[in-house]
Amino acid sequence: MRRRNITAYGFLAPYLLIFAAFWVWPIIYSFWLSFLFTRRQPWTFNPNTTWGRLVEDPAFWNALKNTLVILVVQVPIMIALATVLAVLLNSTLLRARGLMRFAFFAPVVVGEVAYAAVFRLIFSEDLGFVNKALAAIGLPEVAWFSSPTAAMALIIMAVTWRWAGYNAIIILSGLQSIPDDVYEAATLDRVSPVRQFFFITLPLLKPVILFCVVLSVIGTMQLFAEPFLITNEGGPGSATETLGLFLYLQGFRVLNFGYASAVAYTIAALAVLISLLNMWAGRERA
């Protein structure tokens, strides 16, 4: 090996060692773990208790169903909202643009526990602002934490609130890369602003939106903090229990590491699969 290569690897070594010890090794080890029966010492090779159980465990299927419902409902709503938001944030008519952009980005910066606490307060069934507001305009109050559907809606709203601005900023960068003169040409082509949005802006934003969708799919597949903190560990019952939460409960409540590892690998595989599907569906056609 050449001298300068040795020096370079010398500088990289501390990082590579830590990466190997705390990243690569756990990934490999947890894969091995997913084939072990870990309820009793000594751990024994028995995939039936992990991968086998996965297939027939109604709790797993419930968590998977909840996760997919959130994915299918929340991601499209949030991306649509983020796109509209990005267009608004890009508007020359908007005052204090820098401040607005920061404001919509800010939820990502706020700690999860803090924002979860605020959501719990706002949606509190007796004292919360939302139910008070609903009552004020004559609508029935909603049992946000005791109705399965309402709890699911609450999770979806919370996640959307937290990540819409973040995605909007990414989409905004895509918007800004579309040259003005393309719109001027369209204006001279007598294309209305609304049609310009649908026939020029959206198609040109497709790669950026696809990127946001893939990020959001990965994020939602791992969704943990909101059901854990806002709806009391996936409540009511296990109506908002997600795969991430199910994994946590199996691994760190029940201490069934083998089974939790199998769940973890399933989550990762599903995230990759859905992302690939997205990229295939949104591929550039010749």
Partner 1 sequence: MAELTLRAVRKSYGTVDIIHGVDLDIADGEFVVFVGPSGCGKSTLLRMIAGLEDITSGEISIGGRVVNDVEAAERGIAMVFQTYALYPHMTVRENLSFGLRMNGNPRADTDRRVARAAEILRIDALMDRRPKALSGGQRQRVAIGRAIVREPEVFLFDEPLSNLDAELRVQMRVEISRLHSELGTTMIYVTHDQTEAMTLADRIVVLRAGRVEQVGRPLELYGNPTNQFVAGFIGSPRMNFLAAETIGTIGGGTRFRLVNQGGAVIVLPLDRPPAPGEAAVIGIRPEHVAPAGAGDCDLPLTLDVAEHLGSTSYLYANTQAGEPVVVQAAASDGARAGERIAVSIPAAQALAFDAQGERLR
Q: Is 37 helix (H, G, I), strand (E, B) or coil?
A: strand
What is the rounded (10 degree) CA torsion for 151, 153, 158, 159? Answer: 110
Q: Which window, 50-58, 63-71, 181-189, 256-264, contacts partner 1 (CB under 8 A)?
A: 181-189
Q: Is residue 195 close enough to count as binding partner 1 by CB under 8 A?
A: yes
Cβ–Cβ < 8 Å for 54, 34 = no
Of the candidates 170, 186, 215, 272, which one interacts with partner 1 according to CB under 8 A?
A: 186
Q: Which window, 82-90, 143-151, 189-197, 239-247, contacts partner 1 (CB under 8 A)?
A: 189-197
Cβ–Cβ < 8 Å for 258, 35 = yes
Which of residues 153 and 186 has its CB atom nearest to partner 1 in the complex? Answer: 186
Q: Is residue 184 close enough to count as binding partner 1 by CB under 8 A?
A: yes
Q: Is residue 175 close enough to count as binding partner 1 by CB under 8 A?
A: no
At 32, which amino acid appears? Answer: W
Burial class (CB in 10 A: 0-12, 13-18, 19+), 257: buried
**Residue 171 half-sphere exposure, CB side, CA atoms within 13 Å?**
32
Note if the bond before 42 is cis, omega within 30 degrees: yes
Of the candidates 12, 182, 255, 277, which one interacts with partner 1 according to CB under 8 A?
A: 182
Q: Which window, 72-80, 186-194, 216-224, 239-247, contacts partner 1 (CB under 8 A)?
A: 186-194
Of the candidates 2, 203, 280, 281, which one interacts with partner 1 according to CB under 8 A?
A: 203
Residues that bind partner 1 (CB under 8 A): 179, 181-182, 184-192, 195, 199-200, 203-204, 206
